[in-house]
Amino acid sequence: MRKKLISVFAAAALILGVMTGCGDNSQTGANSSAQTIQETEVSAESSQQEDALVSEPSSSEEPEEAPSSEGAAVSAIEMTHLMGNGINLGNTMEAYGRATAGVGADVSAYETAWGQPVTTPEMIAAMKEAGFDTLRIPVAWTNAMNFESGDYTIGADYLNRVEEIINYALDADMYVIVNDHWDGGWWGMFGSASQETRDAAMELYTSMWTQIATAYEKYDSRLIFESANEELGFRLNDTDIAADSGSLSDAECYEMTNTINQAFVDTIRGTGGNNAERFLLIAGFGTDIINTCNDAFQMPSDTAEDKLILSVHYYTPPGYCLWESIPSWETKKDYAEMNDTLAMLTKFTDQGYGVIIGEWGVLEQADGLRTNTLEYMENFLDNCDLYGYCPVLWDCNDMFNRQEGKIAYDEVAQLLLDHSYANQSAKTLEELQSSARADIEAAAQAAVEAAGVDENTAVAWLMYTSSDWSLSYSVGDEYAPDSASAGIVVTDAEITGEGTYTVGLDFTGTAGGFANSTVFSAIGIANGETLYPGYCIEIKEVLINDEPYKLTGRPYTTSDDDKCTRLNLYNEWVSAIPDSARTASGNVMYVSPCVIDAAALGNVESIQITFDYVPGK
């Protein structure tokens, strides 16, 4: 993630659910016939260690000879099992300090730019002792590169400092992931309207990875290169650096993502040596699981056999994981959403690809852990055990205190230690999966029922998320009245057929007394498509803070899932009017998914919308 843990677009895409599902939702454990694997002890030199990754024999077999130091006999799925439980060195080497320090400053000026201490060997060793087997090092390489002038040379001091941290982790007997993170948003150059800028972006990318791969070629298979962070996807249209970005259609974003990932593999393999067989981590589409499971996303081809691993992130629901807009996580619906989403990734493990969930977590609040944090984390880790995924916790000196060298919460510390490779390697793979499956099923059974409606009832409500993400109400295509920030007074309406209805939200009872504008809002009608197919929402009146509000555009009725009817009030992530768009008149010319001026909306104490629900033409 970028500074302060969030990629707004990726999180918003999760919230809004404007994604395409994937084909394989199998609940079966991936690679169930694989044997348990363990890692033998190895001797270490300060900057170059050899790994010895071996298959653990069954009780009736003699131990096999250990594979070579390059781990040639270890598959991508076995590798993710060996990598155990990981942690990010967040807001550190990916801190983007060019705006203040410029290019060529002392490396520590970048390393500490986002408030983190200079990393020490003791900090990394303490992470290993806490049960973390893998260290992900997000990096902003353009901190040390004059790329605007066409010079893509990475400063030697920066390469050397990253190498020092790599060695800290290897010396602590950890696996290491190195990527190129948000990095100031240079990725938007790929979405430029100028072909020259797009070509420069690819030249920057391949030059960067050629230098990184060459500099670290001597390291064995415990060092893994990751193609990107969350930017390979719709964020290729970001305008952080390329002001004319935004030229790629959704389909072209997928095509460009596939092209970049293929260039990554070809570039690394082309440097030879240990890189010819190194495990490579391929960033999914926006690292979003559902978008990545879309068949438009393709894993690249590779000259090495069985060395590709998929990278995705999981912060669902973001209103709970990243912000305080959803107060708890405890319903059967919550458990089902997590279990079903994580099961989708078997689409890749069934093909032999490993899966690393490179970022996940529930951010603690000022007064400590969120309600149900432990339950959330335990169910997530059980899913990773069931399917063989490697989870890598996002942390910025919060959950793990780097100065004190320990997890800040004893219950979390024990949970993470329990899921470390050291504590799980004594189990066979069948034992690990059986235990995880039983725990997942028991937790789902014990969860409370979610509020909502049955399939024979239609209810209209106002989906809403404030612009600072601190307040929300029932965002998504399923009516969830219990998914509400504390203090919101709600007006929902049961739909009984053609007629006039009113929905609304009152924020005066919340902690701040108002919602700060909106980042997303829409009228939703649960079961509208199935009970009243073809009906349209026609807005009659909008009151904001009890004053009439004139819409800034012409709205339309649509559906994302062919079940919930929706009218977007403010949804800036809709890049094209969908084919399902309709109005009561039948005319969909000049309609818009943004009919509220969010930039000028200001503080919303209350919002009330009256609409007609009528058959469409």
Model confidence at 73, pLDDT cuts 50, 70, 90, reads confident
CA nearest neighbour of 80 among 304, 295, 281, 318: 281
**Per-residue model confidence (pLDDT) at position 327:** 86
Which residues neighbour 156 within 8 Å (Cβ) at sequence distance 6 or greater? none
- Whether the pLDDT of residue 35 is over 90: the answer is no
**Residue 553 or 28, more confident:** 553
Confidence (pTM): 0.84
CA dihedral 63, 65, 69, 70 (to 10 degrees): -90
**Per-residue model confidence (pLDDT) at position 20:** 28
**Per-residue model confidence (pLDDT) at position 364:** 85
- Whether the pLDDT of residue 410 is over 80: the answer is yes
Q: 225 forms bridges with which residues in the sheet?
A: 178, 280
CA of residue 167 relative to chain centroid, distance: 27
What is the CB neighbour count within 10 angstroms for residue 154?
Answer: 20
Domains of the chain: residue spans and CATH: 3-38+76-446 (3.20.20.80), 458-615 (no CATH)
CA nearest neighbour of 415 among 361, 455, 357, 466: 361
Query: What DSSP assignment string belongs to 360-398?
Result: E----BTTBSPTTHHHHHHHHHHHHHHHT-EEEE--SSS
Cite the beta strand spans of 466-533 per DSSP E.
Answer: 472-473, 489-491, 493-495, 499-506, 515-516, 520-526
Digit-coded pLDDT (tens) for 416-459: 999 999 998 889 999 999 999 999 999 999 999 999 999 999 99
Helix (H, G, I), strand (E, B) or coil at 528: helix
Q: 54 forms bridges with which residues in the sheet?
A: 38
What is the share, in percent, of the chain residues with pLDDT greater than 70?
Answer: 88
Which residues neighbour 108 within 8 Å (Cβ) at sequence distance 6 or greater? 118
**Per-residue model confidence (pLDDT) at position 367:** 74
- Whether the pLDDT of residue 498 is over 70: the answer is yes
CA nearest neighbour of 527 among 493, 477, 590, 567: 477
**Residue 521 or 21, more confident:** 521
What is the CB neighbour count within 10 angstroms for residue 213?
Answer: 22
CB burial of residue 228 (10 Å; 0-12, 13-18, 19+): buried
Digit-coded pLDDT (tens) for 245-264: 999 999 999 999 999 999 99
Using only C-alpha atoms, what is the Rg of the chain?
A: 25
Model confidence at 41, pLDDT cuts 50, 70, 90, reads very low
**Per-residue model confidence (pLDDT) at position 561:** 93
What is the share, in percent, of the chain residues with pLDDT greater than 90?
Answer: 82
Model confidence at 617, pLDDT cuts 50, 70, 90, reads confident
What is the rounded CA–CA span in Å between residue 308 and residue 224? 10
- Whether the pLDDT of residue 588 is over 70: the answer is yes
Q: What is the mean pLDDT of the chain?
A: 89
**Per-residue model confidence (pLDDT) at position 72:** 53
Query: What DSSP assignment string belongs to 168-208?
Result: HHHHTT-EEEE----GGGGGGGGGBS-HHHHHHHHHHHHHH
Model confidence at 104, pLDDT cuts 50, 70, 90, reads confident
**Per-residue model confidence (pLDDT) at position 393:** 98
